[in-house]
Structure 1
Amino acid sequence: MTPTEFDVVVIGGGIAGVSIGYELAADRRVCLVEQEGTLAFHTTGRSAALYLETFGNASVRALTGASRAQLTDPPADFDGPILASRPYLVFAREGRGDALTAFYDDVRRQAPAVELLSADDAVGLAPYLRRAAIEAALIDPASMDIDVHALHQGYVRGLRRRGGEIRTHAAVTALDRAHGVWTAAFGDGRTVRAPVVVDAAGAWADTVAECAGAAPIGVRPMVRTIFGVDAPEGLETSNLPVVNDLDDAFYIKPEANGLLCSPADDTPSHPHDVRPGDLEIARAIDSINEVTDLRIRHVRSSWAGLRTFAPDRSPVVGFDPGVEGFFWFAGQGGYGIQMADGLARSGAAVFRGEALPDDVVARGVQATVLAPDRF
């Protein structure tokens, strides 16, 4: 088959791929390819995302803050609103109050709305918490629920409106470069050609890199399990905060007529269509029942996704130091949705050889912190 010509081939149809594809399509002919039959299949579409400026390391928090304006006032291609208020409460068990104070001191620099709470105040906001099990708490009143579908589809519509092409059922089987141009081959015999390949393949990022002859950088998929339970009779969930154990034994996120729970697991994995782990669910239920009055006995539904981290848990953005025309856009971890705008704008700037956006720089992020050669 005759290959199709583009300026950029973006590999991966999750939030990473569609966001960087959207930004690059402003002045490039972009083809986005996805191995599955639907976009956002493995991670983005399974996310119970929050907008949290207290979440992740300093770079992640900065990029999240730089993304707030777009999420609050999205462009015309995005169905709004994308954000809805959902306070985030972190509690410390008995004996862990000092650790919670240290966490507060760390995050309030970039999330000044965060407040310390007494244990009584925490139980007042989340009445299913068991008072005797809690020493102290903090709350981020600026936390938000994110409509993941609306955000992802907004990028998809915007990418197409800017002339970008999206192909599904397009698993890359070979990447070959000759005369300054990549040829990406797919299992059905189709090919596309472009001078630059953007690796936004999430859990498969290192696999794609090796296919292109680039050295893997050690991005590691981690399993995150989620399960749904019914709310106890009489518990109104609409105004409840997300509740997170300081030591990440679990978190609980309200949903309509129920609660989404997670063991907050980070189990190393290989890239595949991951399934929830019964042992992790059982562990989370035990931890939740220790410090709450929920008395969970039955799981209504469960699923799992892959959160992919670089070794230092910061995103990897930039051209590979050893392979011409190969651009990394990987390692978003569990933060890719909340920092999509700031990271995609930063990625597009690095791609074009420009300085990072002013608002990103003002928050303390430098391109060297994201660059793949930092490893």
Structure 2
Amino acid sequence: MSGLRAAGGIAKKGGKAKASGFSGIEFHKSKGQHILKNPLVVQSIVDKAGVKSTDVVLEIGPGTGNLTMKLLERAKKVIAVELDPRMVLELQRRVQGTPHQNQLQIIHMDVMKAQLPYFDICVANIPYNISSPLTFKLLAHRPAFRAAVIMYQHEFAMRLVAKPGDPLYSRLSVNTQLLSRVHHLLKVGKNNFRPPPKVDSSVVRIEPRNPPPPINFLEWDGLVRLCFGRKNKTLGAIFRQGNTLALLEQNYAVWQALHKASDGAEVDLVAAVNRMAMDADKAEAAAADGGSDDEMSEDEEAEAAAAGGGGGGSARRRRGKASEGFKEQVLEVLQRHGFLERRAAKMSQDDFLGLLAAFNQAGIHFTS
């Protein structure tokens, strides 16, 4: 597992060179292993985490433990999740015979496969390639933690904190900010690492909203995915798409027949954040290929409209045509609430919540 780690740890990206690490451990640049050499950054991360003497701290990607040792000085307990067996041995060596030996618990496995225990604070220097799924895994964790201080690739961090109108504002931004308060803490230049990685990093503080907003998260995700499919188009244009209207009308019929209630928010949250993570990964891949969020086809828009719906098959196979009455109903909702000419790229979290409430009040849903 490669990725950015704190002093004595690992950072993402790099070539084939090797660098000698602490305690004689070789760090492989080809695996994205770089050493954070600036102790001031390590201390800043600990300070900004706000660790209390009664806290259980979850550390993801501890590396050889320089940050771990600082955390142990402040916390009641540190639970370190580490995949590299060499790092596990080094962590064990560093605490052996010290007053902190009984404060450290090491979980030797892939963090994405681990059942995370209770913790108050998370400190993570994570592999860039799991930034999205790990972020949403943490946000879905129960009981909710107080805060997470995480090192990300700089551009990813900027997408997390982006506001409406910012070019980086995306589904990732609005979904993360729905579930948490997100703050950019500091930028960490690549020259703070040995050898330097190819990109800069940033540290972000995430504070989960507890309790989370009282909404159906699968409905929310279906709406947001649809709107951000072409975030610079007006909502009027998006909701005039034939396939989108057809699938929304199918959902409408099912809801009218079953009189479903939108309860089970905790189950919805887990299912929705998993989808949010996958969506964010797809958006990252599209951006890396020179694309953007503003590239969803009509069929993809239709599938997004049925985001949480059951039944297999692609939107193309289920192509249909909505009734004129239903189309008028959808557009009337947008018109009445002032959303017809709005664009997702400039809509706030409250705007999306208002839009979802308006549709739901009219009996229009984004899950079937």
Quick one: higher RCO (CA 8 Å, sep 6+), 1 or 2?
Answer: 1
TM-score (norm 2): 0.20
Larger radius of gyration: 2
Higher helix share: 2
Higher strand share: 1
